[in-house]
Amino acid sequence: MADLSAFPITKRWPASNPDILQLYSLPTPNGVKVSAMLEEIGLPYEPHLVKIGEDESWTPEFLSLNPNGKIPAIIDPNGPDGKPLGLFESGAILIYLAEKTGKLLPTDPARRYETMQWVFFQMAAVGPMFGQVGFFYRYAGREWEDKRPLNRYATESKRLMGVLEARLNGRQWIMGDEYTIADVATFPWVRNLQMFYEADPVIGFKLFPRTMEWMKRASERPASVKAFDIPARG
């Protein structure tokens, strides 16, 4: 049985089966990325609910694994060279799991790097910009009288939706016929922008039909459907 005692997070969220991958998460867009990936690749894992609304990600135990205080994070007891590996940042986790299992990442070197560039596009642009739309349109920022921040982030999010719309012209998935970590990384954020932020009035989803159909296809995959409730909120 694997010894995970070197990871303080396991004291607050004990592992029932320390021999399988441990996931510390919540079904937000970033959390869904990793749970969907795990479901897609079929790698056994144990999910642990981190209640970010109760500041559990800022506890010493969680910060010992991710000093940035954000979900998701993982511990793989069977990491490189058979040693346990703790990892945070959803994009890094997707690449790690893809390389570990040989799934959802092309083996051709050029296509591999092309896929990764779209993962980084999501991490650097889509997630941060869409998240700001959520804050300023749906959550606390909506009460601010100054609408310049909302207009700034909404305009940039529309531009990013346009980038996806152009990329998906003639393609089923971001990389063509092959579903990859580029799709896994990105579709939860488009879905969140539509369903939870209800941002259609400031985005105009009808302007991006290919993107919305792609998001729907990705969301309806069996792995995605499961991921929307992993870890269960209880």
Position 1 scores a pLDDT of 83
SS3 (DSSP) at 58: helix
Indicate whether 222 pLDDT > 90. Answer: yes
Tell whether the model's pLDDT for residue 142 goes beyond 90.
Answer: no
Instruction: Determine if the pTM surpasses 0.75.
Output: yes
Strands (DSSP E) along the chain, which ranges? 21-25, 45-49, 73-76, 85-88
Summarised one tens digit per residue, pLDDT across range 151-179 is 999 999 999 999 999 999 999 999 999 99
User: What are the φ/ψ torsions at residue 48 (nearest 5 degrees)?
Assistant: -125, 130
172-221 tens-digit pLDDT = 999 999 999 999 999 999 999 999 999 999 999 999 999 999 999 999 99
Dump pLDDT digits (tens) for 18-51.
Answer: 999 999 999 999 999 999 999 999 999 999 999 9
Residue 234 pLDDT more than 80?
no
Identify any residues that bridge with 85 across adjacent strands, giving them in sequence order: 76
DSSP-derived secondary structure for 141-170: GGG-S--HHHHHHHHHHHHHHHHHHHHTTT
All domains in the chain, ordered by first residue:
9-103 (3.40.30.10), 109-223 (1.20.1050.10)
**pLDDT band with cut points at 50, 70 and 90 for residue 140:** confident
CA distances from 118 to 154, 172, 174 (A): 21, 15, 8
Q: Which two tokens stand for residue 186?
A: 């990105």
